[in-house]
Structure 1
Amino acid sequence: MKYIVEIFNNRPFVVALIGWFVAQGFKILTTGIRYKKFDPERIMGSGGMPSSHTASIVAATVQLGKLSGFSDPVFGLGMVISFITMYDAANVRMAAGQQAKVIKQIVEQLGRSNFQIEKELKELLGHTYLEVFVGMLLGILIGLWY
């Protein structure tokens, strides 16, 4: 029990969780407004506005800077991880989502019976630069606020 209390007293960890929950909440709202319906996939799903991965890691990184100092090597490492996360969200995962869309089109054109499909491919994996940017701003605000 002691360790659980210690974990939840870890401010960078707590702000990362808050960043994730707030971003996922915004995803539910923005999807509902855009498509006029509730999409339960948005509760835990990747992709969409804003980037919850970005909001989480940036909030934790800002908190590390506040606690350890912005010249501390731990803050620097957090910055590197934040940039990798943002690059991955906007480039690698976005490309994977676009590839999934093309693969689905090919499968439909050639007929589903010609392929062994174990699990449907997800198209909404990555983020636009705007979604990543908004996730970063959200992370900065949460990290500074807490």
Structure 2
Amino acid sequence: MDKSILDNVALVSAVVAVVSAQIIKPFIARLGGQKITRDMFISTGGMPSSHTAGVVALTTAVGFTAGVSTYIFAISFVFSLIVIHDAMGVRIEAGKHAEVINQWSEILSTIHKEKFNKTNFKTLLGHTFSQTFAGAVHGFIIAIIFLFIYGVI
């Protein structure tokens, strides 16, 4: 058995898609006028969605290597739908809730200085449709590149 984990094109594609999406996020944010910080390289939210990039790369590579009629493709596809739904739906709503809680925290800490410590919850948790779509395109392109490199297509 000579194969290594690096021979797994689906895994390599997914990992490269996630890592590369995380690396480009701060630079895209900079184009939008934000200051680049170290936290941007590991944070959730932003353009493109690294979670979406990873699952789309995984599902694309699995589809090409195992076939779209296999149970492993079905698992990967459903997993992708769940992750993408979570990125666009659940986590974006949690971010909105965090914004409101932070506003109330500011008000309460102003009124009750000694009794209440202000808290700041992270608000950039989820993704907009365009961020998710960009992640999907990024993941698909990464998978296609690695499928060519590995000689699958």
Measure how far apart 1:36 and its partner are. 4.6
Identify which of 61, 66, 90 aligns with 1:68. 66
Q: Give RMSD over aligned pairs.
A: 2.0
Q: What is the match of residue 28 of structure 2? A: 30
Q: Deviations over 1:46-74 (max 9, x none)?
A: 00000000000110111011110111111
**What 5-or-longer segments of structure 2 have no aligned partner?**
147-153
Alpha-carbon spacing, 1:114–1:40, altered in 2? closer, same or farther (3 Å): same
State the alpha-carbon separation in 2 of the partners of residues 134 and 7 from structure 1. Answer: 28
Counterpart in the other structure of 2:144 = 144
Structure 1 residue 129 displacement after superposition:
0.9
Aligned residues: 143
Task: Name the larger-Rg structure.
Answer: 2
| TM-score of the pair, normalised by structure 2 | 0.85
Say which SS state the counterpart of residue 35 (structure 1) adopts: coil
CA separation in 1, counterparts of 2:115 and 2:43? 29
In the alignment, is residue 122 of structure 1 matched against residue 122 of structure 2?
yes
Verify the 8 A CA contact 1:100 1:123 in the aligned structure 2. Answer: yes
Identity of aligned residues (%): 35
Give the ranges of 4+ consecutive aligned residues of structure 1 lying more than 4 Å apart after TM superposition: none
- Does the CA contact (< 8 Å) of 1:93 and 1:126 recur in 2? yes
User: Unaligned stretches of 5+ in structure 1?
Assistant: none
Residues 32 and 39 in structure 1, CA contact (< 8 A), matched pair in contact too: no
Is residue 93–residue 125 contact of structure 1 (8 Å, CA) maintained in 2? Answer: yes
TM-score by length of 1: 0.89
